[in-house]
């Protein structure tokens, strides 16, 4: 693994096996996590005392840690249960030594606990990193989730986490008011989300690339007319 500094000065890693960085270097690891995942999730997710989040996949944990950072900085009392699959056990074990941005300094105890036990719990937050293949982990989730951070490596490098069959499993466990956030704006991904039952929206974020948001319900965002797009596109939804 090679450490890479991103635009907002936070660090990410380059993964040789997938030939990709864990974050978009041009957007910044912390900025990408906050602006593409956490902020839209909390803007559109149901206003509930407790939210269940599926963080696909844990990686360096930026999305999980940014969520806690967001709650603290906005003084929100929402309780969190975060379930996060991750294949790479060694990566999790070594997170204790990763150079996180200063915003995450108050969460050292959380990082330590996850690194050691793949688990953290206090009176407001429960984080369960499930070591294994996300496809299998998802099938074993027996509760509805409110938010899905869809943040695997790209569809070209990690196809099995972007297919219709995969998104159908996500559709089955996401709440009727839940939302999915993803950095991918690729047509085959949007078609796969649509074919698995989701309504598909585009969101513009100041200073960053656009993103895709998916939900079962109407959102106050630009909805993509997938039927129309499919007529004019040679792309097809990704399948297993």
Could you tell me which stretch among 60-68, 96-104, 108-116, 162-170 binds ligand SAM (CB under 6 A)?
A: 60-68
The site string for ligand SAM over 103-122 (x = CB under 6 A, - otherwise) reads --------------------
133 binds ligand SAM (CB under 6 A): yes
Nearer to ligand SAM, 183 or 198 (CB): 183
For the chain, the DSSP string reads -EEEE-TTS-EEEEETTTTEESS-TTT-HHHHIIIIIIHHHHHHS---SEEEEEEE--TT-HHHHHHHHHHHHTT---EEEEEEEES-HHHHHHGGGS---GGGGGGHHHHHHHHHHSEEE-SSEEEEEEES-HHHHHHT--S-EEEEEE--S-TTT-GGGSSHHHHHHHHHHEEEEEEEEES---HHHHHHHHHTT-EEEEE--TTS--EEEEESS--SSEE--HHHHHHT--------
- For ligand SAM, the binding residues in 15-54 under the rule CB under 6 A are 22, 33
The site string for ligand SAM over 69-108 (x = CB under 6 A, - otherwise) reads ----------------xxxx--x-----------------
Q: Find the helix packing angle between 62-73 and 108-117, rounded to 10°.
A: 150
The binder of ligand SAM chosen from 54, 110, 134, 237 (CB under 6 A): 134
The site string for ligand SAM over 204-223 (x = CB under 6 A, - otherwise) reads --------------------
* Closest approach of ligand SAM to the CB of residue 149, in Å: 7
Total interface residues for ligand SAM by CB under 6 A: 21
* Closest approach of ligand SAM to the CB of residue 170, in Å: 13
Which stretches of the chain bind ligand SAM, using CB under 6 A? 22, 33, 57, 59-63, 85-88, 91, 133-134, 151-153, 158, 160-161
């Amino acid at each position: 693994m090679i450490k890479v500094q991103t635009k907002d000065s936070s660090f990410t890693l380059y993964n040789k096996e997938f030939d990709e960085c864990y974050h978009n270097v041009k957007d910044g690891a912390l900025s990408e996590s906050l602006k593409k995942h956490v902020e839209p999730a909390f803007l559109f997710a149901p206003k509930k005392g407790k939210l269940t989040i599926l963080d696909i996949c844990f990686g360096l944990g930026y999305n999980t840690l940014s969520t806690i950072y967001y709650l603290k900085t906005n003084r929100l009392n929402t309780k969190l249960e975060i379930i996060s699959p991750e294949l790479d056990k060694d990566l999790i074990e070594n997170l204790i030594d990763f150079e996180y941005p200063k915003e995450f300094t108050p969460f050292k105890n959380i990082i330590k606990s996850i690194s050691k036990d793949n688990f953290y719990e206090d009176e407001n937050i429960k984080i369960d990193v499930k070591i294994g293949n996300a496809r299998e982990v998802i099938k074993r989730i027996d509760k509805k989730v409110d938010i899905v951070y869809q943040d695997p490596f790209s569809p070209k490098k990690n196809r099995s986490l972007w297919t219709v069959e995969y998104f159908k499993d996500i559709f089955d466990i996401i709440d009727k008011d839940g939302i999915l956030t993803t950095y991918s704006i690729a047509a085959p991904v949007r078609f796969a989300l649509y074919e698995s039952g989701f309504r598909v929206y585009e969101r513009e974020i100041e200073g960053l690339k656009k993103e895709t948001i998916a939900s079962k319900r109407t959102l106050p965002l630009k909805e993509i007319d997938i039927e129309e797009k499919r007529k004019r596109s040679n792309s097809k939804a990704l399948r297993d």
